Amino acid sequence: MSGVGAMRIVRDGRVIDDPWRTVGAEDVLPGGAIIVPLERRAEALGSGHGADALGVMLPGSADASLLDGLLGTLPLVAIHFEGAGDGRGYSLARTLREQGFAGELRACGAFGRDQMFYLARCGFNAFAPDGDVDPAALLAGLDDFSLVYQPAADQRDPIGALRAARAGFPLAR
Amino acid sequence: MYIYDDYDQRIVDERVRQFRDQTRRYLAGELSEEAFRPLRLMNGLYLQRHAPMLRVAIPYGLLSARQLRMLARIARTYDRGYGHFSTRQNIQYNWPELARVPDILADLATVGMHAIQTSGNCVRNISSDALAGVAPDEIDDPRPWCELLRQWSTLHPEFSYLPRKFKIAVSGAEQDRAATAFHDIGLRLVRGADGRLGFRVLVGGGQGRTPRVGVVLREFLETRDLLSYTEAILRVYNRFGRRDNKYKARIKILVGALGIEEFSRLVEQEWAAKRDSALALTPQAIAAMRAHFAPPAYDPAAAADTLPTAGPAFARWVERNTRAHRVAGYRAVFVSLKGGRRAPGDASAEEMDLVAALAERFSFGEVRVTHDQNLVLADVRVGKLHALWQALAGGGLATPNIGLVTDMICCPGLDFCSLANAASIPVALAIQARFDDLDYLHDIGELELKMSGCMNACGHHHVGHIGILGVDKNGAEFYQFTLGGVAGDGARLGERLGPAVPRAEVVETLAHILEVYLAERLADERFIDTVQRIGVAPFKERVYARAA
């Protein structure tokens, strides 16, 4: 999670140079667009950082209520996956999208191409995993399935809605 | 039954393609064992004692004859000619080769089957009543609700990395034949005060190391809310379930730690935002799903069928292995996979083919797998029972022991499973050999004997009328007996009889327990009723008398 130079990440279905720098708990705050641990946001604002160039990092275990009142202001929320088996970040991401967060939702930490499809469905639109993961492989993971059974944050029509349209009966809502 | 449409088919085909690529990357060294593990588990693939074990999903235990033939073909082509039906109504193959598993999944996909989420920390196969749709005491058919849950839970993006596995059972009858009180979520179809259909929702039941009877989370849930409410429960569990200790990670531990009131408050809070989302079930979606489970074309002339008088063996089989049917002139027939030298729940490819053929000839081409590891032909005309019995007997599948001592549940144990502490199949075989006298068995009557080879309780020993748990004592196999467990209505955990006995004394211990029952029972009292009336003390005295 400590600061590094421009990395290749996946965002909105493309491989890009990361315009954000991730800053750790102990790092000196650099200029430009930065992602800081949530606890350091006030400090960054106090040192003159503009709110629109200031994203926050949360562990997957965090409660969404920590961002109450901030969701309209934050340009980016990064959720850090501590271990591959820790699925709390999926629920946190979906909850933030359900609460109306429209900015960049970035997955960081322990995941790979085989989790991409699920992560994207939970509302993540940017992906910066730990380690030496080929961004092109990550992109491929987004297309593991062409259909879905359940509604989620990606607004894709689930199979139930496709069937209803075929049969000409109304949808829920 | 539910038949895949082009959408379902595309999902399973894409799943095969995905797993083929994951297996290729693993075998090529591009994917570490650690990264591959959850992926293979979510396709039912374990690395076991001798070889990988592949668990194939049989949603709520329902199979077409065509699907059963495919299971036989897989047993023959990729395994050693047999399969093992499990207590969660699935089938397991013990000898596949890892590199060929993608081919097995491709073959399964051709008949609308898969191994999706048969293991791993995700929502597992939904289990149900093997007599769904035919039981006279049914309030509503559970299968449409099971299928709605199956589809909702399949590849669920939010719940594929839960703290631990998650099991759901649905029962639609007065009598609970799906052990709903021993699932993470148990759903009972009920009629509300105004006659409306809904669910009583139980949560936090389970077996394993910390057995718990599920508690009522909601007395009445509207059917339209089934998926939204289930999703709310899963979200609370995913957020707050423990992840620091896998033995404390099931939802039962969370429910116990928070208390049911606080757990319920959290669920209601999540649900409030979801209730009117796209998860709400429309009357049309429910009706469309029900149509898949419409009754077959029963012959009204069957009502005049009479049972032939064809000797005591046939009469005994009818009495023991068939059950009442809601339609006059029909019976549900159990095909026993127990007794003799058969490992409980095992079936050979030839037997599977035979049952598939008999299903087509006698039961509208459908077969069910029961949670006690037998098969059921659910729609057999009374007038055809004799012909069916002869065909089953010819194939060694007519042992009249359903519900008796030798119809025991048993996990694979030390012979196959890498978790086991003790053997279970050889002990089961010894029990079957000792109690093979049919008159004696029938005299003992209804008795649920359940055995697990370790405390993970795959053999459901906690809820056996007699439970047997294999334990390791300094490298020797010992067996702990419990008495009085009940899986269905009046759900309760068995009580420990006393110190574990060595393997060589298991059969004798069981014989002593049965002796006490025969001496103490009143008239037609069942074993479980005698235990509940007199307690375990008289059994304990008899079993441990020698030590005194």
User: Is B121 close to A87, i.e. CB distance below 8 A?
Assistant: yes
Percent of chain A with pLDDT over 70: 95
User: Is B277 close to A172, i.e. CB distance below 8 A?
Assistant: yes
Is pLDDT above 70 for A172?
no
Cβ atoms B97, B47 nearer than 8 A? no
**Set of chain B residues whose Cβ sits within 8 Å of the Cβ of A144:** 14, 18
**Set of chain B residues whose Cβ sits within 8 Å of the Cβ of A171:** 278, 282
Ranges of residues in chain B with a pLDDT under 50 are 548
Structure token digits, residue A2:
């400590």
Nearest-CA distance B279 → chain A (Å): 7
Does the beta carbon of B30 lie under 8 angstroms from any beta carbon of chain A? no
User: Is A118 close to B160, i.e. CB distance below 8 A?
Assistant: yes
For the stretch B101-116, pLDDT in tens is 999 999 999 999 999 9
Burial class from Cβ neighbours inside 10 Å (0-12, 13-18, 19+) for residue B349 reads buried
Which residue ranges form the domains of chain B, and what is each CATH number?
Answer: 6-109 (3.90.480.20), 134-289 (3.30.413.10), 302-394 (3.90.480.20), 409-547 (3.30.413.10)
Tell me the C-alpha distance between B460 and B132, whole Å.
22
User: Is A151 close to B278, i.e. CB distance below 8 A?
Assistant: yes
Say how far residue A24 (Cα) sits from the centre of its chain: 18
Facing B157 at nearest CB: one of A98, A114, A152: A152
pLDDT band at A113, cuts 50/70/90? very high
User: Is A145 close to B154, i.e. CB distance below 8 A?
Assistant: no
User: Is B155 close to A148, i.e. CB distance below 8 A?
Assistant: yes
Q: Which residue type is seen at B52?
A: P
Cβ atoms B413, B423 nearer than 8 A? yes
Nearest-CA distance A91 → chain B (Å): 6
**Set of chain B residues whose Cβ sits within 8 Å of the Cβ of A88:** 238-239, 243
Facing A114 at nearest CB: one of B22, B156, B227: B22
For the stretch B456-497, pLDDT in tens is 899 999 999 999 999 999 999 999 999 999 999 999 999 999
pLDDT band at A97, cuts 50/70/90? very high
Nearest-CA distance A52 → chain B (Å): 29
Cβ atoms B441, B449 nearer than 8 A? no
Cβ atoms B227, B285 nearer than 8 A? no
Nearest CA in chain A to B280: A172
Nearest CA in chain A to B157: A118
User: Is A90 close to B158, i.e. CB distance below 8 A?
Assistant: yes
Q: What is the pLDDT of residue B497?
A: 97
Cβ atoms B333, B376 nearer than 8 A? yes
Nearest-5° angle of CA A142, CA A143, CA A148? 100
Q: What angle do helix axes A88-98 and B226-240 make, rounded to 10 degrees?
A: 120
Structure token digits, residue A43:
């400090």
Model's pTM, two decimal places? 0.96
Q: What is the pLDDT of residue A2?
A: 42
Nearest-CA distance B154 → chain A (Å): 7
Cβ atoms B207, B463 nearer than 8 A? yes
**Set of chain A residues whose Cβ sits within 8 Å of the Cβ of B281:** 172
Facing B35 at nearest CB: one of A112, A167, A173: A112
User: Is B279 close to A88, i.e. CB distance below 8 A?
Assistant: no
User: Is A121 close to B157, i.e. CB distance below 8 A?
Assistant: yes
- Please enumerate in sequence order all residues whose Cβ is within 8 A of that of A61, keeping only pairs 6 or more positions apart, or say none: A82, A86, A88
Superfamily of structural domain A8-146? Aldolase class I (3.20.20.70)
Which residues 109-168 of chain A have a CB within 8 Å of chain B? 112, 114-115, 117-119, 121-122, 144-152, 158-164, 167
For the stretch A7-39, pLDDT in tens is 899 999 999 999 999 999 999 999 999 999 999
By DSSP bridging, strand A126-129 and strand B45-47 are unpaired
Most B CBs within 10 Å, among A58, A66, A90, A121, to test the B interface = A90
Long-range contact pairs involving A22-28 (C-beta distance under 8 Å, separation at least 24): A22/A57, A22/A78, A22/A108, A22/A128, A27/A2, A27/A3
User: Is B158 close to A145, i.e. CB distance below 8 A?
Assistant: no
Most B CBs within 10 Å, among A132, A150, A157, to test the B interface = A150
pLDDT band at A1, cuts 50/70/90? very low
Nearest-CA distance B121 → chain A (Å): 8
- C-alpha to C-alpha distances, B329 to A128, B300, B314, B324, B386, nearest whole angstrom: 65, 8, 17, 9, 14
User: Other CB atoms closer than 10 Å to residue B29's CB: what's the count?
Assistant: 7
Q: Convert B476-528 into a string of H (helix), E (strand) and C (coil).
A: EEEEEEEECCECCCCCECCEECCCCEEHHHHHHHHHHHHHHHHHHCCCCCCHH
For the stretch A50-80, pLDDT in tens is 999 999 999 999 999 999 999 999 999 999 9
Tell me the C-alpha distance between A78 and A101, whole Å.
12
Q: What is the pLDDT of residue A67?
A: 98
Query: Across the A/B interface, how many CB contacts are shorter than 8 Å?
Result: 123
Torsion of CA B154, B155, B157, B158, to 10 degrees: 50
For the stretch A128-139, pLDDT in tens is 999 888 898 999
User: Is A147 close to B7, i.e. CB distance below 8 A?
Assistant: yes
Nearest CA in chain A to B7: A159
Closest among B180, B89, B100, B190 to B140, alpha carbons compared: B190
**Set of chain A residues whose Cβ sits within 8 Å of the Cβ of B243:** 85-86, 88
Cβ atoms A33, A51 nearer than 8 A? no
**Reduced to 3 states, what is the DSSP secondary structure of residue A150?**
coil
**Set of chain A residues whose Cβ sits within 8 Å of the Cβ of B235:** 91, 94-95
pLDDT band at A168, cuts 50/70/90? confident
Closest among B195, B41, B20 to B103, alpha carbons compared: B20
**Reduced to 3 states, what is the DSSP secondary structure of residue B198?**
strand
Nearest-CA distance A34 → chain B (Å): 28
Nearest-5° angle of CA B52, CA B16, CA B360? 85
**Set of chain A residues whose Cβ sits within 8 Å of the Cβ of B163:** 87
Facing A150 at nearest CB: one of B152, B280, B284: B152
Tell me the C-alpha distance between A160 and A164, whole Å.
6
Does the beta carbon of B7 lie under 8 angstroms from any beta carbon of chain A? yes
Tell me the C-alpha distance between A67 and A96, whole Å.
9
Q: Which letter does DSSP use for residue B97 in this model?
A: -
For the stretch B304-313, pLDDT in tens is 999 988 899 9
Q: Which letter does DSSP use for residue B114 in this model?
A: -
User: Is B11 close to A149, i.e. CB distance below 8 A?
Assistant: yes
Q: What is the pLDDT of residue B547?
A: 55
Which residues 29-48 of chain A have a CB within 8 Å of chain B? none
Q: Which residue type is seen at B415?
A: D
Cβ atoms B176, B489 nearer than 8 A? yes
Does the beta carbon of B403 lie under 8 angstroms from any beta carbon of chain A? no
Most A CBs within 10 Å, among B6, B24, B228, B239, to test the A interface = B239
Site of tokens 């459908």:
B366
Does the beta carbon of B18 lie under 8 angstroms from any beta carbon of chain A? yes
The reply to whether ipTM tops 0.90 is: yes
